[in-house]
Structure 1
Amino acid sequence: METATTPALYPTLVTHLHRWPARHYAEHRSYAWYVDLDDLPRLPRWIRPFARFEAADHFDGGPNDTLRQRVDAFLARKGVFIPGGRVTALLLPRVLGHAFNPLSLFWCHDAAGALQCVVAEVMGTGGDRRAFLLPPAEDEPAAVTEALRAAPFADNEGYFLLRVPRPGEMLDLSVSLHREQNAALVATWRGRRRPATVGRVLMLQLTNPLAPQMARLALRWQVAVLRWRGIPAEPALPPRQIERTSFDGAQGWGAKTHSWAAP
């Protein structure tokens, strides 16, 4: 499939559709950067406060680790190694000192350029993060049986399907909660690739100002509306938890079962 060159920008429309226990729809506009972790964008100093890529905003690790080192460490703990491979990521940068990434994606390739796995990191409005190791099957969703525990996916019942193909000219991602083969909740991220120029970055600060802060505010508002309607929206999270995974890369991807083999 065609994949985007890096860096690139994707102005996005984010939607949430609740189908059960009551119907509810919400949307907001945002944007995301598509970057190579070994070649992060080098913006002029005066505009950097609007697009900083900090390792501390993802995974765990030492204070001096790069974001690529944190991804490699996460993969190693799951039995996945990609020496000489490329990692591309779709994420929101830190803007004016604030970071909030409801969904960050990392596509991990081997030295030959073949996709080996995908890491999906979700973040709740309280700042808690969880990372999930997904298979390299871009043409179909990957199943996650562990609760994402991030608004608006608060329910523990059922399973999740993540469809996260690498972005090309278009970005088209979805995460859905299913019960008895029916989608109870669907979230989508859709957008069109734009060049990552200084002018485009400035324009986004006008059309989508303070994107991380506004994304957090949009989710909190949605949680409040859902609670008012009696719909579970955001769990009471335990103390900070990072890097939960439903799959173990050391066990291998099963093409027939479409999941990582159980330990």
Structure 2
Amino acid sequence: MPEPAPPPVPALYATEIAHTRVTPVRHSLRHRTYLWLVDIDELPVLPRPLRPLARFDPRDHFDGTAPSLRAGLDAYLAAHGVRDADGRVLMLAHARVLGHVFNPLTLYWCHDRGGRRVCVVAEVHNTYGGRHCYLLRPDARGRAETAKEFYVSPYLDVEGTYHMRLPLPGERLDLTVQLRHTDGSRPLTATVRGARSPARPGTLLAAALRHPWSTAAVSLGIRRHGIHLYLKGLRVRPRQPRTSPAQEGTP
């Protein structure tokens, strides 16, 4: 369906990521960083001195073997019977910074050649090196549901349903992912909110100075909060994903 025109890309979003757990213990975290919104067919070309601050490598996405982001996405979509997402694709993600990248969630808004949104692909990475994609068909408000199929948090089993709100970013970024169980509990809610800036060299440099080595900070932050939860009494659940390692796309 037609959507409001997206902002010019590439764009940077200064974001606040929040996670709230309510069971079996209460715990919340907030982390400030920045994300890129890019057209996967027209990736930004930075001045040479700034290139270590942002690189988009196809090896960091899908199964890591495709020659380009578009090729990796097309292979995934074709394997799931999607043939008409051959138009513009906007990706929201961390870029590789100083040789390191970790994307807990990468989103791809996929359109046909007429500009109609066909689907959204949510690519999830865990800290064990695993990858998994969810093919979503959001409604007009960007809402979608999908069964949880991938081991992410070591303190949560692979069960329940994700309820997501994933509208295409505009001047503001406002995303929500909530895990719900069949007993009505909602153990985890994650939000990503932010404001857009044009991805100019000065904007990128300012963001990199505010958030030095941002992707490493994400990885370290996840581990630090994992330790905190362990000290609160949570114990690691065994990894028993519903899907096979091949389906997860583990490198």
Q: Please indicate, yes or no, whether the TM-score normalized by the shorter chain is above 0.5.
A: yes
The answer on 1:46 being equivalent to 2:55 is: no
The answer on 1:223 being equivalent to 2:238 is: no
TM-superposed deviation, 1:168: 0.6
Cα distance in 2 for residues equivalent to 1:231 and 1:138: 38
Q: 1:172 aligns with which of 171, 174, 186?
A: 174
* Counterpart for residue 208 of structure 2: 205
Alignment of 1:114-129 (within 5 A): 114-129=116-131
- Alpha carbons of 1:205 and 1:61: their partners in 2 closer, same or farther (altered >3 Å)? closer
With the length of structure 1 as denominator, give the TM-score of the two structures: 0.86
- Alpha carbons of 1:105 and 1:153: their partners in 2 closer, same or farther (altered >3 Å)? farther
TM-superposed deviation, 1:115: 0.3
Cα distance in 2 for residues equivalent to 1:237 and 1:31: 32
* Counterpart for residue 7 of structure 1: 10
- Per-residue CA shift, 1:60-88, capped at 9, x if unaligned? 1535x111110011000000013641111
Deviates further, 155-164 or 211-220: 155-164
Alignment of 1:1-263 (within 5 A): 1-60=4-63, 62=65, 65-82=67-84, 84-151=86-153, 154-179=156-181, 180-231=183-234, 236=239, 241=245, 243-244=247-248
Cα distance in 2 for residues equivalent to 1:214 and 1:165: 26
Cα distance in 2 for residues equivalent to 1:40 and 1:17: 33
The letter for the 2-side match of 1:201 is: L
The letter for the 2-side match of 1:161 is: H
Aligned length: 244
The letter for the 1-side match of 2:98 is: L
SS at match of 1:120: strand
Say if 1:55 and 1:67, in contact at 8 Å, map to a contact too: yes
Long gaps (5+) in structure 2: none
* Counterpart for residue 258 of structure 1: none
Cα distance in 1 for residues equivalent to 2:146 and 2:40: 25
Cα distance in 1 for residues equivalent to 2:237 and 2:219: 13
- Per-residue CA shift, 1:3-43, capped at 9, x if unaligned? 22211000110111001111111111111100001100011
Say if 2:20 and 2:29, in contact at 8 Å, map to a contact too: yes
TM-superposed deviation, 1:141: 2.6
Deviates further, 225-234 or 159-168: 225-234
Say if 1:148 and 1:154, in contact at 8 Å, map to a contact too: no
Long gaps (5+) in structure 1: 246-263
Say if 1:115 and 1:136, in contact at 8 Å, map to a contact too: no
TM-superposed deviation, 1:163: 1.5
Q: CA RMSD in A?
A: 2.3
SS at match of 1:130: strand
SS at match of 1:193: strand
SS at match of 1:6: coil
